[in-house]
Structure 1
């Protein structure tokens, strides 16, 4: 036999996979930015395991622990930073003050608040901390530990009485608390609720006004005020205060729940779902009331399957809720205008359905959640339609891709520059948009898209129009129109 060639042996290329504290820290930051606090906590814990001397790793872990309600563990890391890793990270004092305040240890909270202001009086948190100090100081004199324990016990008793609707008994207790602790705002807020639900509306409003006068921006007081306006049917005040509170991003988990539940109670389910679903995603272990409002907010924003899943938790916690499902309510009747809009949803063309959604967003019924829900049932479960349903029916801008709002802005520009009856123009725009979405188009130049679509549409209608005239109409350059016209034609073809 002849000699055989030996097979060529290739050296394996080894790619080292080096895990370090920095590696896990970056993964933790990514999870944190996505709102997955439990995953972020896991990665930050790995980061400090690899490098226990990096103060920034420990600090981020402490912040996540606080957001998860693990205040004592958060404090352990914050104290470790101050005493062992970096004594100049004065922001640790701010978060220690917040954590101790939430735990009800007001004396400790005040101590760390004052330490922050002593070390960094002009720091980033100085103004916030001055407000926090007003909230924390039950009494400017020393408060003994047993007094603090008594106060916490009284607060829990008052909350229990309110939940049991024993309002008269709650009022007696809360009036005592307000008299003995004149800067303990939680007692004022609970007393306002007790007054209101016992029928003394004037005293309830006076109590909220007193809190907001002495402690401006108190979130619980603002939420209580919103509830009062809602029950008193003051629609203008409800809308104005909802608009104000929609811009608030609370630090404490409890405040996020308060905000979400309040929005749900007053029928702003779009805003309620934002906060309650956020809490659900980060693993918040809520009570029956939490799941009740989450199920309602989910259902009335079109997340029906999720709402039914959550309602199972409600019934498990309280079987008496069986039969109170939000979908058990009958849908409102539809008038002639709504019928006209609904006819667009019977079309097979997706662009025509989008046009129908847009028409609804401009109708008098755009803020009626029940009607929005009824409208949604006429639409197919199409993945392309879903973000537009969330936007046009429920105004959920924050959670949607930017192209949705941009497409809306462009159709508005077209309508502002053309007659309302030219419906095929607007449908043509939605056809262009649908095809462009597949190419990951962001639709940033609103005027250019509008000008190009109108030019192409008018030419298709046999009209004598020039790119120069359309450019002047939309205040863009002719060269820009020419560029976008080529894009529009390619998308339509």
Structure 2
């Protein structure tokens, strides 16, 4: 600290000596006063002194950079701000916002865009966040930016994906619950303090039917963190699943008392209350959340409507679904529930329970699967985690027809997680042989390899899928076997046994393709025998007249033509 002495005259020529302390704070105050008077030169000198007195204080450099910026010397300002970020305090993120301002004033809009994005990335709710968002909007709208934003968004997606993979959210969000279990068990073994991974593993166990493990996982988290909201929610759902009525009230009580300000957590609390049957409490949670969000998210609208309907507040539910119907993407869901409200009288509706998921009930989804399977592009459908969760629920708890449809749907999904779900289902002791047969065929349809557990000779046995003949699919429908047997006999009688293997390959290929399409039917067997013979003979160079085959099998030539067109596609796809 530098000490000066100011001498003043007073009284009878006596000297009063006043000590003056000149330090960084003193020159900071002088600099502020000069700035208020718009005397930039003196302000500059004052703030330079603050840097001299405290050369390691990053705030002093920021203030000096601000004066340079006011004077239009943006380059000098930038050098000081970069010095702060690189050498003094990399966490002073406001410097990135100041740099964005400087580069924008210099006409370097791309660089300004990069710095404003850096600031928003590090301080999304920071002091200058609102100004930064406004600056970004101006840069994009007025100066044709966007390249830096696109790059930033791509990098953010990568980071988010990496984080999601780390705690297993990626697998859960994509409905890959079996994969989530395997991954998260490894994560927890390596990172025992990763509570997000514990909670996600709890969910993965639940979705794969491993309820005892799920409960143990929730209890372990709560033992370490009694107020962990995710674990409290997970445990409440599991207590409800096990039917422990005497424990459920105690499990629900903490959730009734808490209202997280974080949107996702509040949604989870409300949904959990609904799932355990506390529909009025769920509605109160959703209603409070709606007051904080404007406009409310579609998922929140439906959840609030479901809670209202489940607590028999019909008018409120109707109003909320009408609001949801304004969202084009969710209009069909809203219309479905609005129609239910209209068509079902109040007495019958009293027992109607609405799912809190923003989707159609699983039964409706499976009913629509006929149309879905006709579409060429099913990628979006495959990535629908809610649908996948519904499918797994249907596989575990649905009736015979629901399970049969789910098995077919999983054969369409045809990824590793779907295969694991089918394998686990096959190990169950409580499914009938028809469902077991459908599951084996689904696994063979998606090209699965390795051992599976199936029932043979009244015993569960492990058999390699490769050893199970392709024509096991004949077991699903006697008419399918009949078509083949008659085709085989005809070829043998005509001394064309060499065409039996390719003909069978075509027929099996068509049946395995048809397995995925419940709307397709095999009608009159004679038509398909003639059609299969016609396409086989023609493709392998054997002279054949469609009209003669039609007369021989007493069918119309046009019918042979129609089914042969369908079979021909199998030939083309298989490269036979």
Answer yes or no: same fold by TM over 0.5: no
More relative contact order, 1 or 2 (CA 8 Å, 6+ apart): 1
Q: Judging by fraction of residues, say which structure has more strand.
A: 2
For normalisation by structure 2, the TM-score amounts to 0.32
For normalisation by structure 1, the TM-score amounts to 0.36
